């Protein structure tokens, strides 16, 4: 019998969910029985990123806090050898359910700093993470933060693994046609992210208004899911209107293939107020795009080599962001300096073969 691995994820299209699928795809289906468990009701949009022949199990809970018992019943029925999850709200409940059932190995992954999580999730993490077999952190800063917040958590239970890159999926995506209008003079700036306060689209629009004063041909493309009725989106739209940018700032909405936008942009911009580890930035750098990134994490300074593949700026500083955007579009032959984790690293850690 092939070892059965269950990958738990929330029913949404976020960075943690996409990364869970990337990691699951590292496992050879000839050697492992890989199955996904979708927790919480949703539109199943995340399924488009899964393999067509992968088994999907649904736990249609209306509220995450009601999921522990359904997860427990599922684990008793499926009896997997390993369970994995990268959503802290589910992590804690999965750890408890798995220990009650007696699952061999429980691996969880944090996609944000501990301090960025809601207080109820922090409370659960403090009380359950000691029972996990392994906790994967995206970067050392995140690992140290976790140990400061949970001082009794054994260090041998945590490991830092940089985000991997789904090279196959990206390389397939960039074969799609160039989505930008055919305008030889246009300079296309790009940001790929859901609309949210922490993603700082408002700061980017303010910076872009400054850029347009020196670069009238500039265009800004915001690719990501948004709700036009949300307070934050209305705020961003208000800035666009106030600055007279209605013809040069484009809200594209969700696109399941953001890589076609990255491949052909002139500069990728990450203005975030905070991040776990920005997958979109890593992907843009893999594609050789010049980048500008706010220093919302210490690792940003290690990822971006100033003046070679991009520039960094202070968080929330629209003026500095604009200056760096104007500089970045002049860069050529950008090389990636970020070192992603290998698929073998994840396979060994998740299965316990790294011991």
Residues 240-253 have pLDDT tens digits of: 999 999 999 999 99
Higher-pLDDT residue of 50, 177: 177
Mean pLDDT of the chain, nearest integer: 92
Write the DSSP symbol of residue 340: P
What pLDDT is recorded for position 355?
59
The stretch 165-185 carries a mean pLDDT of 91
The secondary structure of the chain in percent helix, strand, coil, rounded to multiples of 5, reads 40, 20, 40
Instruction: Give kind and range of the element (H or E) at residue 328.
Output: helix 318-328
Q: Left (φ > 0), alpha (ψ -120 to 50) or beta: where does 352 sit?
A: left
What pLDDT is recorded for position 40?
75
Q: What is the C-alpha separation between 279 and 164, in angstroms, rounded?
A: 9
Q: What is the C-alpha separation between 105 and 352, in angstroms, rounded?
A: 8
User: The whole model's pTM is what?
Assistant: 0.80
pLDDT of residue 38 exceeding 70, the answer is yes
The stretch 137-153 carries a mean pLDDT of 92
Q: What is the C-alpha separation between 98 and 134, in angstroms, rounded?
A: 13
Least confident among 41-50, 114-123, 241-250, 281-290: 41-50
Q: Residue 41 — very low, low, confident or very high, per pLDDT cuts 50/70/90? A: low
pLDDT of residue 52 exceeding 90, the answer is no
Higher-pLDDT residue of 164, 108: 108
Sheet of 105-110: strand order equals: 55-59, 33-39, 4-10, 82-85, 105-110, 134-137, 158-160
Rg (CA), the chain: 21
What pLDDT is recorded for position 13?
66
Q: What is the C-alpha separation between 131 and 177, in angstroms, rounded?
A: 48
What pLDDT is recorded for position 272?
97
The stretch 308-323 carries a mean pLDDT of 97
Q: Left (φ > 0), alpha (ψ -120 to 50) or beta: where does 279 sit?
A: alpha
Report yes or no: 170 and 287 within 8 Å, Cβ to Cβ: yes
pLDDT tens digits for range 190-244: 999 999 999 999 999 999 999 999 999 999 999 999 999 999 999 999 999 999 9
To the nearest 10 degrees (0 to 180), the angle between helices 68-78 and 88-101 is: 50
Q: Using CB atoms within 10 A of its CB, is residue 298 exposed (0-12), middle (13-18) or buried (19+)?
A: exposed
**Helix residue ranges, H only, 46-158:** 68-78, 88-101, 119-128, 140-149
What pLDDT is recorded for position 279?
87
- Which of 114, 147, 117, 169 has the alpha carbon at shortest distance from 279? 169
Least confident among 41-45, 177-181, 220-224, 348-352: 41-45
Report yes or no: 300 and 214 within 8 Å, Cβ to Cβ: no
pLDDT of residue 43 exceeding 90, the answer is no
Q: Residue 152 — very low, low, confident or very high, per pLDDT cuts 50/70/90? A: very high
Q: Residue 285 — very low, low, confident or very high, per pLDDT cuts 50/70/90? A: very high
The stretch 257-281 carries a mean pLDDT of 93
């Amino acid at each position: 019998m092939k070892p059965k691995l269950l990958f738990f994820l929330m029913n949404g299209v976020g960075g943690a969910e996409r990364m869970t699928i990337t990691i699951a795809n590292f496992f050879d289906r000839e050697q492992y029985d890989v199955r996904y468990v979708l927790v919480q009701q949703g539109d199943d949009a995340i399924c488009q990123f899964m393999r067509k022949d992968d088994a999907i199990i649904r736990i249609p809970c209306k509220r995450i806090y009601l999921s522990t018992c359904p997860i427990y019943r599922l684990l008793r029925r499926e009896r997997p050898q390993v369970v994995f999850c990268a959503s802290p709200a589910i992590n804690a409940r999965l750890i408890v359910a798995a220990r009650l059932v007696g699952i061999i190995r429980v691996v969880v992954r944090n996609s944000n700093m501990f301090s960025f999580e809601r207080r109820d999730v922090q409370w659960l993490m403090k009380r359950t993470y000691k029972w996990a077999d392994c906790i994967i952190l995206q970067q050392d800063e995140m690992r140290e933060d976790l140990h400061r917040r949970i001082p009794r958590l054994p260090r041998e239970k945590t490991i830092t693994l940089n985000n991997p890159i789904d090279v196959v999926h990206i390389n397939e995506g960039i074969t799609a046609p160039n989505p930008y209008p055919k305008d030889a003079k246009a300079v296309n700036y790009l940001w790929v992210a859901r609309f949210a306060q922490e993603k700082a689209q408002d700061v980017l629009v303010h910076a872009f208004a400054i850029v347009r004063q020196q670069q009238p041909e500039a265009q800004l493309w915001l690719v990501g899911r948004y709700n036009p009725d949300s307070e934050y989106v209305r705020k961003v739209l208000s800035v666009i209107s106030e600055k007279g940018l209605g013809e040069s700032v484009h809200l594209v909405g969700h696109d399941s293939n953001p890589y076609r936008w990255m491949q052909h942009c002139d500069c990728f911009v990450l203005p975030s107020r905070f991040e776990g580890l920005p997958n979109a930035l890593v992907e843009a750098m893999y594609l050789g795009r010049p980048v500008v990134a706010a220093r919302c994490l210490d690792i940003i300074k290690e990822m971006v080599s100033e003046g070679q593949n991009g520039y960094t700026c202070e968080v929330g500083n629209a003026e500095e962001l604009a200056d760096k955007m104007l500089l970045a579009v002049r860069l050529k032959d950008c090389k990636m300096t970020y070192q992603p984790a290998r698929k073998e690293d994840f396979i060994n850690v998740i299965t316990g073969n790294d011991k």
